[in-house]
Homo-oligomer: A and B are copies of this chain.
Amino acid sequence: MASVFSKRNGRAFVGGIATSVPGSSLRTAIAGVGMIGRVHMDAVRRTGAQVVGVSASSPARAKEAAAALGVERAFDSSQELVTSDDVDVVHICTPNDAHAALAALALRAGKHVVCEKPLTTDAATAGELAALAAESGRVAAVPFVYRYHPMAAEARERVRDGRTGDVRLLHGHYLQDWLSQPADTNWRVDAIAGGPSRAFADIGSHWCDLVEWVTGHRIAELTATSRTLPRAGGTPRTEDAVQMLFRTDRGATGALTVSQISPGRKNRLWFEIDGATTSLAFDQENPETLFVGSRGENAAVQRDPAVLSPAAARLSVVPGGHPMGYLDCFAAFVRDVHAAVRGEAPAGPPAFPTFDDAARMVRVTEAVLASAADRSWKEVS
């Protein structure tokens, strides 16, 4: 193995594993120690930064988690954590309804913030948080991490450099199955705890953020239908599926299916971009290749730093043929956020997603719900 690594390094690696955030002395703390909190912890540790503390739903649970995870300090509350003097960066991984208040508290305490999505469940609050972040001068990031798949970055470069040609059509889907059976439930099904939109806010927003980021287009108006199944305990107010048409500010049209009730689909985020010269298709479940269609031969471009554009090669921390995955995206996102915290110039695209991006997706979500209610086209501000 060593040989391929060294060879490839000589040829193509720019940054590589563990090196882009050298000697991080950043002190981070993580509010919330559920699975997603541990994903953040994994990413933070990979950068070499310290996790100095955690909080949980109770002081006792926080202590238990700190011991189990090898973290020094257990905060009594997330409020205490996000305002602690010992901490430079806070990662907010609590249940959704606590996101906004904790993020505001942290920003006001001068912390840099990484807040799980959805930032909030209404556009007004999201806008206020984005404004607060701007005023604070602190880094305020949201993990739309699919931007950090190297081949998604490669797609973006191929749009930017003109190889794709004018983008004409956008289409795809984001499908899961974990709520496909009547007995399936989760706190997210409840509109009070999880907000008025479920499938779209949870996963549709990822698709839209990613496709907007790759293409540079913005969804300008849309029309949508939504679908909600009866469940044990009644029909929830949050939708199981959304299908929508849209137009972008730069003249492309699109169609999207979002569903949490598609049996066998675990996390199928798939998009296709049809440009004047080539088409690009990306499947998050098979993220090591990018389909590039043309009137000549079609390519299945493999993630190989030797042939990728610099922006994608930068994210390729292992040689081609050694699959990268979800946690690698997450780590790259955190690495970039921490670099920004230290005031470093960005090493290159992708720009990490900010509270502004998150607020934009809340606005798209509101337009989807409004259109699904009255079947008309809605503009997105």
Contacts and interface: CB of A to CB of B under 8 A. Distances in A.
Given A69-B22, A70-B48, A241-B168, A2 B277 contact: no
A264 interface: yes
Interface string A4-17: 11111100010011
Nearest to A275: B263
Interface stretch (A55-63, A292-300, A349-357, A358-366): A292-300
Nearest to A68: B22
Given A256-B255, A321-B265, A116 B67 contact: no
Contact of A38 (B3, B16, B264, B300): B16
Given A22-B69, A202-B3, A268-B321, A274 B288 contact: no
A220 interface: no
A39 interface: yes
A366 B111 CA distance: 58
Contacts of A245: 223-225, 243-245, 255
Given A168-B241, A323-B325, A6 B34 contact: yes
A301 interface: yes
Nearest to A95: B2
Contacts of A324: 323, 325-327
A69 B229 contact: no
A344 to B, nearest CB: 14
Interface stretch (A81-89, A132-140, A209-217, A278-286): A278-286
A294 B41 CA distance: 32
A228 to B, nearest CB: 11
A281 to B, nearest CB: 9
A194 B2 CA distance: 11
B287 A323 contact: yes
A141 to B, nearest CB: 14
A373 B46 CA distance: 46
A182 B378 CA distance: 32
A121 interface: no
Given A38-B18, A254-B243, A4 B169 contact: no
Interface string A73-84: 000000000000
Interface of A: 1-9, 13, 16-19, 21-25, 34-36, 38-39, 41-42, 45-46, 48, 67-71, 93, 95-96, 116-117, 143, 168-169, 171, 173, 175-178, 180-181, 184, 186-188, 194, 202-203, 206, 223-225, 227, 229, 241, 243-245, 247, 253-257, 259, 261-268, 272, 274-279, 284-288, 291-302, 304, 306-307, 317-328, 375, 377
The 10 closest A-B pairs by CB, nearest first: A264-B293, A267-B321, A266-B321, A23-B70, A325-B325, A5-B35, A266-B320, A322-B326, A48-B70, A323-B325
